[in-house]
Structure 1
Amino acid sequence: MSHVPLPGAVGVSHLSCYEWLAEDGVRGGSPHLHLTCTEAYVVTGGVGAVQTLTLDGYQENDLEAGSIVWFTPGTVHRMIQRDNLRITVLMQNSGLPEAGDAVFTFPPEVLADPAAYAEAAALPAKEGPEADAAARRRRDLAVQGYLVLREAALDGDDGPMREFHRAAAAIVAPKVQRWLPIWQEGALAAAERTGAQLKALLDGDASHLAQARVVAASPSRRGGYGMCGRRDEYELPGVTVPDAIRAAQP
């Protein structure tokens, strides 16, 4: 192995939920979904909630220190700030969200236009007033589309949600070929190593234990404006995430 991945080849980051007030009077992040990754919130401080939309309807889970909630691909999720909410995020398939496995709930006319979507989702800078304003604009635009989806869900109409799923799949389709090696070298390779180790132990071979290593890391950079809030990221030994793809991080 050129590097030692986190257990299960997951990604990890720390989030401080946005404080910005949205048009529905709620403070929080940008609603979005992932297409291939299950995500987990481990609440480390404060109070808040996560609002979710699936084909089963709308749900809101309260969050406080010690809470854990996780959701599978296709779940629209929106983090809600109530009082200094802080989250540690565990993300399946480390590297895929960074490579674009996330789609904002922008209105249908934006989702239907790849150039318009890219412009609305992009941040012009990593830090500073310009980045702050752009992150807030894209949050507000995502909330605009999300509220339509939520209203339909509350009325028992899953048509808009199904259409959003189709639009999200079309947006990421050009990226999927690039995701394959990330998955193959990450989560798949981790599972295959476990399989090889189990087989070796069945054969009485413990030689892989001689390769034991210890790796330590601390949050090494402020990751700027994610989808849900401000991020603290880890730069793990042997793992490089280019700045060009960090803008897609949740």
Structure 2
Amino acid sequence: MPLKLYQFAISHYSEKVRWALDFKGIGYEPEYLLPGMHGKVIRGLTGGKATSVPVLVDSGKAIQGSVEILDHLDSAFADNALLPEAPDERASALAWEKRLDEEAGPAVRTFAYHHLLQRPKVVAPLLTAKTAFWNQYLLRLGFSRVDETMRELMNINEKTAARAQTVIESLLEEINAVYQEGRYLAGPGFSRADMTAGALFAPLFMPSQYPVPWPRPGRLPPGLREWHQQKGSLLEPVANCYRKHR
């Protein structure tokens, strides 16, 4: 019975799991859900109240959350381990992953959506990617409500976006200092720490491997376009690691 990954195409935490599955050479069936309409499906799988994605189903067992899924993959599929063997390097990889999940993930989401939600024609295809084609049109018709709901649920506004930008730049500078020395985040080899960094920052450098129709640079909202012009070079070491291992 093949594994199934329930996800949003746009989700950078889902990208982390997609990457882990591909890196380990594990076949799976992708199940793309529409954000906001996914709750019933996820609760049906997990039997709980949380509706977060990704959720991986393996032999009838549902595993929710990118950390838990990566733990399961390394336990169930030994090839291409996601963690180093040395105890100190393993601890470092897990510490980096935790920090990036808690800091980079929310910051990228807040910063990117604050700007993208200002352009309905740009963000609608990203939110509805890989779902039924009519979802894009329905979302655009009700976009004012979508914008309001997303901003409220994720606390997205001018102030939180500015704070998120500061977090993003600080983390990238710290990560780049490691990469520029020719090392990886948790030792001499690639690990789930680097995978987490690449996946969570991916919406900012918009790689072709990501299953969404990224907008052309000229169609980016002004705030994002200006940030790329001024600070885009900060993304290069992380983007290079992504391209090398993805």
Q: Higher Cα Rg: structure 1 or 2? A: 1
TM-score by length of 2: 0.26
Q: Structure 1 length as normaliser, TM-score?
A: 0.26
Instruction: From the two aligned structures, give the one with the greater strand fraction.
Output: 1
